[in-house]
Chain A
Amino acid sequence: MLGLQILIDGFAISSLYALGAIGFTLMFGVSGVLNLSHGAIMVVAAVVAWLFAGSYGAGPYGGALVGVLAGVVTAFATYLLVVRPIQTSRSIPGEEKEIFVLTGTLLWGIMLQEAVAYLFTNNPKTVRPLLPGVVNLLGVRTPTNEIVTAAISWAAIGLLWLLVNRTRTGKTLLAASINPRGLTLLGFELSRIYILVWAIYGVLAGLAGVLLGAFLGVSSDNAGTLTASAFSIVVLGGLGSVSGSLVAAYVVGYLETLTAYLISPSIRTVPVLLLLVVVVYLRPQGLLGRR
């Protein structure tokens, strides 16, 4: 019974982690940007969904939709206001640009977090579940919303896979991650590819934020933790490796769930961090990393 409970809860949380981390790793793989405002973008999406579903009467579906849209808008704001000016700047030497992007997105994330706290308090908000109620899964009372969360996460990941592997546009993304200079020589415009990747990233981060808001609730205080958790998953899986991130998301999700159920919820994240230290020592390229 407890085993089944752990299996179900672990699956739901791991799917959500996978969705949250996959955009983060895609972004790094294609455009080389480590976006440290990732968690804050998720928080903005969740809070906007909460606001529209509750105060503006958009209902759970309308709220979720506006939330995802807010994720996309915030992602573009991040790109256009922070990342692109750094990338195109002539006064920042090329080799320092990565550091500038890291610092820039980190500060931008703090600004977003503080803005949310100022406008809506740092108290957690919960997004209305798309499907309320519970179902009985082999004797385990499971909120329907938990199943919806896992299903939507996997549907989104599946669509991403189809996009990348089965469409021409997706293949240019893949090519950009392997050899961006080659791609420009073939006549593709990198800036267009970057805009596309930020759009996909915005949808993924927005969706992850909204689902997390409906599943556990989100507070502006969580922004840093959410970025850190995506970062750990991506490092564990191998920077830029999408399949590595998926595997790592499940390792992290289940390790946390096992710890919370079998040891104590208070030390939920500790074993994952220890594992991360071990992996960085023994296999710095991550579980499935190439480099």
Chain B
Amino acid sequence: MRGGLLGALLAAGLCLPATARAADPIKFGVIAETSAIGGASIPKAAQLAADEINAAGGVNGRKIEIVVYDDHNSAADAVRAFQRAHSEDKVSAVIASYISEVVLALEPWAGRLKMPMITPGAASDDITKRVHNDYDHLKYVFHGYLASTQIADSVCEAGKQLLVKDMKAKTAVVMSEDAAWTLPLDNEYLKCLPQIGVKVIDHIRLSPDTTDFTPIFNKIEGEKPDVIVTGISHVGVQPTVQWQQQQVPIPMFGVSSQATSSTFWKDTNGAANGVVFQMASAPDVAVSPKTIPFAKKYTAKYGVTPAYSGYTAYDDVYMFADAIKRAGSTDADKIVAEMEKTDYVGTLGRIVFLGRDSQFTHGMKVAPGYITGLMEQWQDGKQVTVWPSSAGTAKLAFPKFVKLGQ
């Protein structure tokens, strides 16, 4: 009898902390530069996803909690935040940054601390290449956005219709900012543009600290290309405004990450009119049934449309939550094993991660039926989709000062 009582007490004692643990929230760390357009969307979208999951009962009876760290666009700050997320805040997974330099600095830490991590916005090919080359150590890292090479390919694919047929472009100048993500981007631009029939007559890599772009536009104009193919993310407002104020007669086409949020129109006072830019999902296109509802919800809550990294961060929270649900545990190795089995329709399309054999290990599969790119254009205060024609809601339209190829 006494033994039974003791046993019951012991069992109760053992159970108590166990039940308390089960009710503890599952924490996700979000590391991003919250004062930049691309960074600000990440914690906001992640919080939106967490709120939805919690409203629907959470994961295995536990709530999701988002812990936000501002890295001020500094790799050192990001690494400190990552260590803190692991050792003090005890998060189960990390969603980190849209800056390749920052993500590349965090990558070895994800391996060392065995912390599942995904980036919703960085693009460097090296992120997944490293996972491919050192899988056992770095398998905790996933790439939640297109790699630079894939982005360039998507721009060229759209270019077949938009650049060659619609804009009659035969020559281009590639203008990119000097950063880790544009190295593979530019390499691919230089390869794929000639393949679609657009000759690259110059390749300019500008310093991200540039404030006066007049000399650069001046040089480009002297070379008389039909189009400027862009690779810009750290810069955006200043080149766009100066392009418009100086009435540079050459259209800008390509990647312009800041242009992906509606904040861009305000920051440039509408100088963005006519800028064509690549995106994986947009507020006006039903890339998947989840895209438009998410964009609407986000805009209603925060007053601006999400930047490209917002869509992905929202999907990332759901994918981690699903992986934890399937694994029935927050054990890092189990989460990774389940993440690898991900087949999830998110705001971006159908997301499947590539395996160990691919050069983009843990990168997303980019193909029709999975994830494809879109081309968007700013037209009179609105982002409209101009490619592909299946999703395209509008035709290209440029301000008067832009002269298209003849």
Contact = CB atoms under 8 A, between A and B. Distances in A.
A97 interface: no
Contacts, number: 85
Interface in B334-356: none
A179 B246 CA distance: 48
Interface string B45-66: 0000000000000000000000
A161 to B, nearest CB: 28
Interface in B210-264: 210-216, 218, 236-238, 241-242, 245-247, 258, 263
Interface residues of A, number: 35
A265 B177 CA distance: 12
A5 B210 contact: no
Contacts of A129: 245
A132 B245 contact: yes
A265 B247 contact: no
B35 A126 contact: no
Contacts of A261: 215, 218
B178 interface: yes
A265 B212 contact: yes
A126 B212 contact: no
Contact of A121 (B36, B210, B212, B245): B36
A122 B258 CA distance: 12
Given A118-B35, A216-B238, A54 B269 contact: yes
Contacts of B35: 117-118, 121-122, 220
A184 interface: no
A126 B247 contact: no
B116 to A, nearest CB: 29
Q: In this complex, which of A134, A222, A260 has the most chain B Cβ atoms within 10 angstroms of its Cβ?
A: A260
Interface string A98-136: 000000000000000000011001111111110010100
Contact of A260 (B215, B246, B268, B271): B215
A55 B215 contact: no
A125 B237 contact: yes
Contacts of A268: 210, 212
B267 A125 contact: yes
**Looking at chain B, what size class is its interface with the partner chain?**
20 to 34
Nearest to B249: A141
Quick one: which of B213, B218, B242, B271 has the most chain A CB within 10 A? B218
A220 B236 CA distance: 15
Contact of B40 (A121, A124, A216): A121
A122 B36 contact: yes
Contacts of A143: 245-247
A13 B246 contact: no
B207 interface: yes
A265 B207 contact: yes
Contacts of A9: 212, 214-215
Contacts of B214: 9, 260
Contacts of A123: 36-37, 236-237, 258, 263, 267
B80 interface: no
A268 B212 CA distance: 10
B211 A216 contact: yes
A217 interface: yes
A118 B302 CA distance: 15
A126 B237 contact: yes
Q: Which of B40, B241, B245, B268 counts the most A-chain CB atoms under 10 A from its CB?
A: B245
Contacts of A117: 35
18 contacts: A2-B218, A5-B218, A9-B212, A50-B267, A53-B269, A121-B35, A122-B36, A123-B236, A125-B267, A126-B241, A126-B268, A134-B246, A143-B245, A216-B212, A261-B218, A265-B207, A266-B178, A268-B210
Interface of A: 2, 5, 9, 13, 50, 53-55, 117-118, 121-129, 132, 134, 141, 143, 145, 216-217, 219-220, 222, 257, 260-261, 265-266, 268
Given A123-B236, A123-B258, A134-B245, 17 more contacts: A2-B218, A5-B218, A9-B214, A118-B35, A121-B40, A121-B263, A123-B263, A125-B237, A126-B238, A126-B269, A129-B245, A260-B212, A260-B215, A265-B207, A265-B212, A266-B209, A266-B210
